[in-house]
């Protein structure tokens, strides 16, 4: 008898639904992170880049999310402000004292190309992160330092490169403290997490990612994150959109307590569909920790289902990576439950095609 649980544990079914092997790219996430760190220490960086006054990461979609996670990590120590720029051109303040990191997996993202070209016009400090395309070609022509990586897959699956690449570059420039010990610890934990907890070979009965996916079937995931999990919450939301092909929303604490909580009661149909996932890092500001408890009370009072996901790891980087990976696997398993190939994003490709006409 075919059941949701048996579907998640069926390797033959998984291969049929996931012909491109997205699951293999998930498994290689620790390896991608390790490669990215090594590559970030091989590119030539002008010494004057270490004098940057601010950092702007120009990117979209799966290429930009690494910037969100890096910004959350950097905010834990005294360092430069990091802005994630998700549109054309650059912020008006970006000038010769700014370090612009233009990141595009394909190298053909229109918004990122626009920001890259504006950075050259303004003579900013500039680094490119890409696997090829127009961006790589123009970077070579303009003699711009380029973090080039070889990867075949979805932009969102290249997160190891789009996060650890710029992290390594900022460490080398002295713009953020050395994260090598934290990364080594994180990668060891990630490998164990995949093989012993959330990987496809771990049965559903003892696999938290599969269990969470089962609880989210035919539900609307609403992700809450606070502290250095703001970007993680956004990542979970977008992975549900792209991998699972479902509606999903995300909120940030404490901001949600100043607006979102007012809309919990209506419409009732949506309230019945929603499941709130509370992503909780450690440590976190005591007042925000208290807000998580208050949020649970509010959800209980209006009969909205919810679950807690506590950050696991010995340091913030480890917690960010492990919680991101849990969300990635959960969204993958949810796609399997729905019989949907998690890899293609036809709506996104259709928009790109229309814009190119």
Neighbours of 67 (CB within 10 A): 26
3-state secondary structure 124-161: CEEEEEECCHHHHHHHHHCCCCEEECCCCCCHHHHHHH
Secondary structure letter of residue 205 according to DSSP: G
Find, among 179, 171, 188, the residue nearest to 31 by Cα.
188
- Active-site entry in 28, 219, 257, 352: 352
258 is catalytic: yes
- Active-site entry in 242, 251, 255, 357: 242
Residue 156, both tokens: 């969102």
Strand, helix or coil at 335?
Answer: helix
User: In this structure, is the dihedral angle defined by the CA atoms of residues 269, 231, 75 and 124, taken in order, positive or negative?
Assistant: negative
110, with CB counted inside 10 A (0-12, 13-18, 19+), is middle
- Our measurement of the distance from residue 11's CA atom to the centroid of its chain's CA atoms, rounded to an integer in Å, reads 26
Parallel, antiparallel, or unpaired for β 146-148 and 98-104?
A: unpaired
Find, among 131, 139, 83, the residue nearest to 105 by Cα.
131
User: In this structure, is the dihedral angle defined by the CA atoms of residues 194, 197, 199 and 201, taken in order, positive or negative?
Assistant: positive
- Active-site entry in 42, 258, 297, 357: 258
Residue 102, both tokens: 């233009």
Backbone angles phi, psi at 305, to 5 degrees: -70, 150
353, with CB counted inside 10 A (0-12, 13-18, 19+), is exposed
Q: Tokens 């907890």, residue?
A: 197
d(CA 240, CA 156): 12
352 is catalytic: yes
Neighbours of 24 (CB within 10 A): 12
Neighbours of 60 (CB within 10 A): 20
- Our measurement of the distance from residue 197's CA atom to the centroid of its chain's CA atoms, rounded to an integer in Å, reads 20
The residues annotated with a catalytic role in the active site are 242, 258, 352
């Amino acid at each position: 008898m075919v059941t949701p649980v048996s579907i998640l544990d069926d390797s033959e079914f998984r291969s049929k639904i996931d012909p491109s092997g997205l699951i293999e790219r998930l498994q290689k996430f620790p390896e991608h992170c390790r490669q990215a760190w090594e590559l970030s220490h091989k590119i030539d960086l002008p010494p004057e880049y270490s004098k940057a006054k601010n950092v702007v990461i120009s990117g979209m979609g799966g290429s930009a999310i690494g910037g969100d996670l890096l910004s959350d990590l950097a905010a834990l120590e005294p360092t430069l402000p990091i802005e994630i720029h998700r549109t054309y051109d650059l912020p008006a303040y970006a000038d010769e004292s700014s370090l612009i990191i233009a990141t595009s997996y394909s190298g053909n993202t229109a918004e990122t190309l626009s920001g890259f070209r504006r950075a050259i016009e303004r003579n900013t400090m500039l680094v490119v992160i890409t696997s090829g395309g127009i961006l790589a070609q123009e970077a070579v022509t303009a003699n711009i330092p380029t973090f080039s990586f070889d990867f075949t897959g979805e932009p969102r699956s290249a997160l190891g490169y789009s996060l650890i690449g710029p992290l390594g570059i900022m460490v080398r420039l002295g713009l953020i403290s050395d994260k090598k010990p934290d990364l080594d610890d994180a990668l060891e934990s990630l490998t164990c997490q995949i093989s012993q907890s959330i990987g496809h070979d771990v049965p559903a009965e003892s696999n938290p990612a599969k269990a969470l996916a089962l609880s989210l079937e035919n539900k609307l995931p609403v992700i809450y994150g606070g502290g250095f999990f703001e970007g993680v919450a956004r990542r979970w939301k977008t992975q549900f959109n792209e991998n699972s092909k479902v509606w999903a929303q995300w909120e940030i604490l404490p901001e949600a307590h100043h607006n979102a909580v007012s809309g919990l009661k209506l419409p009732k149909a949506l309230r019945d569909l929603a499941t709130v996932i509370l992503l909780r890092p450690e440590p976190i500001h005591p007042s925000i920790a208290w807000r998580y408890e208050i949020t649970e009370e509010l959800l209980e009072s209006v009969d909205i289902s919810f679950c807690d996901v506590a950050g696991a790891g010995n340091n913030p980087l480890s917690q960010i990576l492990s919680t991101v990976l849990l969300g990635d696997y959960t969204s993958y398993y949810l796609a399997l439950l729905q019989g949907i190939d998690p890899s293609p994003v036809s709506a996104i490709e259709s928009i790109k095609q229309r814009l190119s006409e």
